[in-house]
Amino acid sequence: MQKRKLGKSNLEVSAIGLGCMGMSFSYGPPKDKKEMTDLLHAAVDRGITFFDTAEVYGPFTNEELVGEALAPFRGKVVIATKFGFDLGGSDNRPGAAGVNSRPEHIKQAVEGSLKRLKVESIDLLYQHRVDPNVPIEDVAGAVKELIAAGKVKHFGMSEAGVRTIRRAHAVQPLTALQSEYSLWWRKPEQEVIPMLEELGIGFVPYSPLGKGFLTGKIDSNAKFESTDFRSTLPRFTPEALKVNQALIDLLGTIAKRKNATPAQIALAWLLAQKPWIVPIPGTTKLNRLEENIGAVSVELTPNDLSEIEAAAANIQVEGDRYPEKLEKMTGL
């Protein structure tokens, strides 16, 4: 497995990471613990060293799963987790819990994450969503103190906007930004990616396969259970899925030529954008894990990338990526 460094931080990770959320949360009922433990071990065996979780996933159960499964590989893997939600209410779906990044809450959250992950120091700690009620300087200052205390190694943010990132970075340099980025959500290209390059911050795209859509396995007849987060997303209505199929057709055309799959082309496209981009596709299946890892070996030439660019420019993606309430929580 190739390695990449996240920005100027020298934090080296596998070129593709593993998003662990869906093992416990958000995409239907929690999966079998033993099966997911086996999958996490299989990922390590195949060279993945970068794993992504958060206290809100479950809540708490995903960190417990990841912490227990990866305990034998301490020091050989990098585990990223996130703080920033008020937990404890009955409704813990993504975005249902309110944000909370008060410094005392961050410190409390970190103590919980350390226990669940069974580590003495968190490799990479993200603010999950910007809290408009807490100055970002206070958030970065709290993480700076945690780094000084040896409880955290690297600071990151998720779905933050450029002004907020600059202000945070001035207090405690960021190692990585995690935000959605893929061929069907390219907004980070406008302001965020140029700023990350300027400041030397790595980029960790979540949903690099468009929450499963870019695998080509979801069509307009797809039905999502109420426990599946996608049932609430405008981009996953039958009408939107039908229109957005044009993107799958494009990926499929390139995939045939490269003897690859649409998912592999979507990931290879991301890897080709910048050397400090590390996508974290999530999966609960071994064959998908292996397929995703295979993307590292797919080489897209400048001509391939130009062709994808020209074709994608003519495709209008249908549907908002989030309902309005959740979209308001991004890009502050």
By annotation, the residues acting in catalysis are 57
Length of the chain: 332
Q: Which two tokens stand for residue 134?
A: 């807490």
Contact present, 33 and 65 (Cβ < 8 Å):
yes
Between CA 162 and CA 6 the distance in angstroms is 18
| Biggest alpha carbon–alpha carbon distance for the chain | 54
Dist CA 270 CA 272 (whole Å): 5
202 bridge partner residues: 176
Strand partners, 157: 127, 177
Exposed / middle / buried, residue 225 (Cβ in 10 Å: 0-12, 13-18, 19+): exposed
Helix (H, G, I), strand (E, B) or coil at 3: strand
Closest CA to 142 of 104, 180, 99, 116: 104
d(CA 237, CA 274): 32
Amino acid, res. 133: N
Question: How many helices and strands in the chain, by DSSP H and E?
Answer: 11, 9
Separation in Å, CA 179 to CA 30, 49, 108, 324: 24, 20, 24, 17
* Torsion angle of the four alpha carbons 320, 324, 325, 326, in this order, in degrees rounded to the nearest 10: 20
Alpha-carbon separation of residue 243 from 140, 154, 219, 300, 318 (angstroms): 42, 41, 10, 26, 6
